Structure 1
Amino acid sequence: MPVKTGLRGDGHRRGGLPIAAARPTIKGSATGPPTEPAMKIFQCQACDQPVTFEATACESCERRLGYVCDRHEVSALEPVGTSAQPNLAGSPVFHAYAHPGRRYRFCANAAHGACNWLVPDDQPEVFCVTCRHNRVVPDLTIPWNLTRWRQIETAKHRLFYSLLRLELPLATRAQYTDGLAFDFLVDPSETYIGGPPVMTGHINGLITMNIAEADDVERERRRMLFGEHYRTLLGHFRHEIGHYFWYLLVLNGPNLERFRALFGDESADYASALQAHYANGAPANWEDSFVSTYATSHPWEDFAETFAHYLHIVDTVETASTFELHLRPRLRRGSSEPVVIDFDPYKTADLDRLIEAWLPLTYAINSLSRSMGQSALYPFTLTPAVIAKLAFVHELIYAVRSDVPVQGGDETGLDILKAVITGLRQKVAAPTV
C-alpha cells in the first residue's frame, strides 16, 4: 500500500465511519463497572508509591507496572503464568492489582521500550488499543529512529488517554477503510534515498508525522521558523486528531452548517489559503476571533487548533484537580472566593465550569513559568469568539458520548451563548504575563 506523506487538511471524501460501531468497548468488563480513575496521579497499589503514567516499575517495591486502559489506571502486576492465546504461547501474563478479575499481557511494543499498556489475555490482539493504530514505524534497528519513536509514542499514548477518557469513537484500518492510522516516517533528507520532505498532516484518517519532530533542536528550529509560540509532539497529535474528528463528526454529521457559521466555509481552496497565509501572515486583529495565527489560515486549521486547545484545557485541568488547587489571585478588585479545581473535567458537561477553572489556572502557571525565567506556559488568549468555538467542540464530544444529537441549525445555541457570555464576563483569558 503506498504511503501518503500527508498534507495539512482533510480529503473531501464522504461516507463516514459508523460512530456506534467505532466506539471503543473498554468502559467496563464482565466483572463489574470500572473504578474511578486516578487521573494524573497514579500510585502503586502494592505500596502506595506515586508513579508516573509511563512508569514500568515501582521505584519503591520494584514491582512491574503496566497501564490498564479499561480502568484508566497504572497498575502493579504479579506474574501468573503464560498466555492462553495460541499465537502468543510463552508470553508472560500478569494479575493486575487495578483489575483482579482479568489477566493481562504487555503490548508487543513493550519489547522496544515504547509502550507500557496492557492487553487482556482473553483477547487475541498483539498490540494495545493505542499501538494497533500504527501503520508505519521507522526502521527500529537504527538507534536514532528508536529513540525518536519512543518519544513519539509517549506523546501518542497521552493523546489516547484523553480520547479514551472522552469516549470518542476510534476504529483501526482493520475495522474500517478510513479508520485512524499513523505513519511515522523518516525524512528523505536524513537518508541517502532522497525525495520530497515528509509533511506532518492528516488525510482521510491517516496521520503522518515526520519523526524529526521528536528532535528537540529541530523542533525548536521549526518553531522559530514559523513564528510559533508553542510546538510540542503532544501538541502536534492533538492538532492532527482534530482534523480526524472534523472528518468524522462534522463532515459526516449533522453540524456542518453550524461549523461554517463559526469557523467559515471549508470549501475554500486549501492550498491557496495556506499559500496566502505563509505569504501574508495573519490578518489584523486576528486575536479577536482565533486562538492562534495558524488558525486563521483556513477553517480546517481553525477547528484543529480549537480541538487541540480543548484537549489542552481538559487534560491540564484534570492534573490541577488531582492537587485540588485553590486559586485566588490577590487583585485589588478580585473575587474574595477562590476557584477550587476539585472536579473531573472528563465528566463535566458544563463548559462554564471548565473555563472558569482554566482562566485563573493559566494566569497562575504563566506567572510561575515567568518566575523561573521561562516563557509563558500557555501563551494564548481565549476571547468570546474563541470560547464559542470551544463550546462547539465541547458539544460535539458530549453528543457522541450521550448518543444525543447536538441541537443543530443555530450557531447561537444555548451552550455557545453561555460560552460567549462567560467570555464577555471574563473579558479575555488569563494574561500571558
Structure 2
Amino acid sequence: MPRVFITGLGFITSIGNDAATVTRSLRELRHGFELYPPFQKPEIPVKVTGTIKGFTADTPDQEDWTFPAAYKIKRELLRTMAPNGLFAQCAMLQAVADARLTEPDISNPQTGLYAASAGSPFLLHYHHDRLTKLGVMRCSPLGIVASIAGTLNFNLIAAFKIQGSSCGFSSACASSAHALGYAYDDIMLGRQKRMFVVGAEDGNTDAILPFAGMRTLSLQTDPNLASRPFDAARDGFVGTGGGVVMVLENEEEVARRGVTPYAELLGWGQASDGHNVAISHPEGSGSAASMTNALRASGVAPAEVDYVNAHATSTLIGDISEARALRTVFKESLPKVAVSSTKALTGHGLSLAGVMESAFCALALRDGFIPGNAHLTQLDPECEGLNIPCTTEARQAGIVVKNSSGFGGANVALVYKRVT
C-alpha cells in the first residue's frame, strides 16, 4: 500500500503566522491570548481569545481588510471570502511554497483538497440582515459563497484550480481531523497522489461568543490563566481562529520531486460515543475506541507511542473524559507516554483544531521536541497517572498520536511517525 507523507505546512495562528514562529512558540510555550477588544463590555462575561496578529477582517466589506503585503490576493478572489477564507488562502500559499509545488503539481486530476470550517456566522448574519431589512435584490450576489459552510472549498478550489477530489467536512471540532483521515484513505487507495487538507475559522465574536451560552468558555480575565488543560482550576476553553494547511503526498511523488517530508501519516481511526449531543462520554469510550482503531490500522502497539497531542480543551468534563480514555488505551504504558494539549497556547480552533495540532506534531517530529502543557500548576486529581510535561522536552519522539473530538461524540485519532 502507498505510504503517505506530510510535505508542506502553512500557518496563520494565534501563536504565529509561519512555521518558524510557531515552532518557537511551541518550544518556549508562548501563548497567543489577548484581551479581545469586542469582548470588553460589562454584558459580555468572556474576555480572552487567541488573536490572529497582522490581519484585520472585522468588517463585512472585504475592501477594508488588511493583511501582510507578502500575500497577493486578487480583488475578485477577496470579494468571495469570509475572514476564515483569507486565513486559509494565506496558509495555502505558504504550504504550496513550503512543499515546493508547481502549478502542474497543484492543478491536475490526481491532486485534491479537503477543507473544514463552520462557515462564517459573521457574514451569514450580515447578509441575512440585509435580506430581511433591505430586500433580496439589495443582497450581494457573492454573499452565499462567502458565508456558508462550504466557503473554504469554493474559494480554494477555484483559486488554485483544483481538479481532484474535493469535499468539506462538518463534524464540529473533529472536522479537520476527519478531513485528514479521508485524505489519507484517498492516497492509500490510489485515488489521489496528493491532497491539501485545510482548516480555518473566523475567530471573531460571532464564531466564538455563542459558546458562552453553552457555559463552555473560560471567564478568566488574565490571558495567562484562561486556557489550562488538565488543571484543577480550569473553567472552560478559549476560542481562536486562523487557518492551517497540510500537504499530504504518496511516496512516489515524494521521491519524484526530491522533497524531505516532515513526517509520515501511518493511519487513523474513528469512533462515536453514542452518548450525548454535546458532552463527551464520561469514561471516554469513543475516544478510546478511536485511538485503538488508529493504532491497529497503523500497526502500532500502545507501548510504541512516545507522545499524545491531546484534544483537551480545558473544559471540566472533556479533559477528564480524555484522561480516562488514555488510561484505557495505554494501561501499563501510560507513564512513558508524554501527553500535552497545545490548546494551552493557541486556544480551541474548533473545526480547525485537528489539522492545526497535527501540523504542530509534524514540526515536533521533524525538529525533535515534545511540546509542554502550559499553564498547568495543579493537576486535576482525575488526571493522575498521566505523564504531562509542564515544559517542552528536548527529545525525539518516534510515534505520535493526535486526538480530536466533536459534538455528538465524534472522535478521531491520527498516528504520525518520524521520518528517518
Task: Judge same fold: TM > 0.5, yes or no.
Answer: no
Higher strand share: 2
Provide TM-score, normalisation by structure 1.
0.29
